[in-house]
Amino acid sequence: MALPKILQPSLTPDELTFLAEEERIDIVPLFSMTRVRLLGGIYGPFTPPSTATVPVWLALSLKRKRKARIVPPTWLNIESLQSLLSEEKTNAESFQRLPKRFIEISKVLLDVAPDDLQSPSTLRSLLKDLREVRQAKIRLGLQSEGVMRGSYLQVTNLTPLELTELKPFLVKAMGMMQALEPKREEEGEEGLGEYSQA
């Protein structure tokens, strides 16, 4: 009740984007302003030709007011995305480590500041390819034998957003598997102990 049911299983994509907006990014301001002191830190001064580092939400807010140009993060360009994609494809066994809050930040930047990126449409399709390659891997991984056995899964290098997609399903599936698994004696007793305490 206090927390709507839809929010309970895990963080929503919107909430993850909210968190991603706390990350730092460079901007080139188009106006001058002295420093501004916020709760998260002091940002500025903003003097047009030089860059300033601010949180993403601030950058987006300035961008929407046409008061700044966003300097895209180093990984958000065609070359590095292409190399990420090809590595992702060649390495079928594991996932590439992606920059922090990769999907969320690229999404908001493409939405709000496409004119600050080089050929946003190519970027968009590269990002989509990357996502699809990873999704295919996830699906394959889940089909493979033994993954769902027990209650443990290593998910290194999956992004929070991908995990958010997976978590409700996995949590439920693991619960079913645990319930179906034949109980060992000691486990049963442990469980009893816990409950009789309660």
Partner 1 sequence: MSFFDNEEEEDESPFNASVAAQPAEPIGGWSSAEGSSSRYNRNRASSLVSATESGIGSRSFLSRLESTVSPHGKGRSGGLFNQTQDEDEVGVGIDDEEDDEDELDDVSRMGKVWVRERGTVDVMRWEGDLIDTLFDKLEQQAKMVNTLHSDPQTSEEEHFKLVLVQTEMERVKFLVRSYVRTRLSKIEKYSHYIVLHPEIHQLLSGAELLHAKRYTELLHTHFQHSVLDSLPEWLRKMDDTYGDGLSMVTSPNKNVPVLIYCQKDCGEILLEGGESAALAKGTTHLVKYSLVERWVQLGWAEVI
Smaller CB separation from partner 1, 89 or 149: 149
Whichever of 122 and 138 has its CB closer to partner 1, that residue is 138
Token pair of 155 as six digits: 């998910």
Alpha-carbon distances of 45 from 19, 53, 60, rounded to whole Å: 24, 10, 17
Cβ(81)–Cβ(75) below 8 Å: yes
Closest distance to partner 1 from the beta carbon of 129 (Å): 20
Stretch that binds partner 1, among 58-66, 78-86, 113-121, 136-144 (CB under 8 A): 58-66
Pair of tokens at residue 115: 């004119």
Query: Residue 31 corresponds to which amino acid?
Result: F
How many residues of this chain interact with partner 1, rule: CB under 8 A? Answer: 66
Is 111 within 8 Å of 103 (Cβ atoms)? no
* Distances from the Cα of 86 to the Cα of 92, 119, 145, angstroms: 11, 19, 27
Of residues 128 through 187, those in contact with partner 1 by CB under 8 A are 150-158, 160, 163-165, 167-172, 174-175, 178-179, 184, 187
Question: Whose Cβ is closer to partner 1: residue 40's or residue 48's?
Answer: 40
Site for partner 1 in 15-44 (CB under 8 A): 15, 17-19, 21-22, 33-34, 36, 38-41
Minimum Å distance from CB 122 to partner 1? 25
Q: Which is nearer to partner 1, 78 or 175 (CB)?
A: 175
Q: Least distance in Å: CB of 119 to partner 1?
A: 25
**Distance between CA atoms of 39 and 92, rounded to whole angstroms?**
44
Which residues ranging from 99 to 118 are in contact with partner 1 (CB under 8 A)?
A: 100, 108
Cα R_g (the chain), whole angstroms: 22
Q: Bin 62: left if φ > 0, else alpha if -120 < ψ < 50, else beta.
A: alpha
Nearer to partner 1, 122 or 164 (CB): 164
Tokens, residue 163: 């995990």
Beta-carbon contacts of 107 under 8 Å, excluding residues fewer than 6 positions away, are 17
Query: Site residues (CB under 8 A) for partner 1?
Result: 1-15, 17-19, 21-22, 33-34, 36, 38-41, 57-58, 60-61, 64-65, 100, 108, 150-158, 160, 163-165, 167-172, 174-175, 178-179, 184, 187, 191-192, 194-196, 198
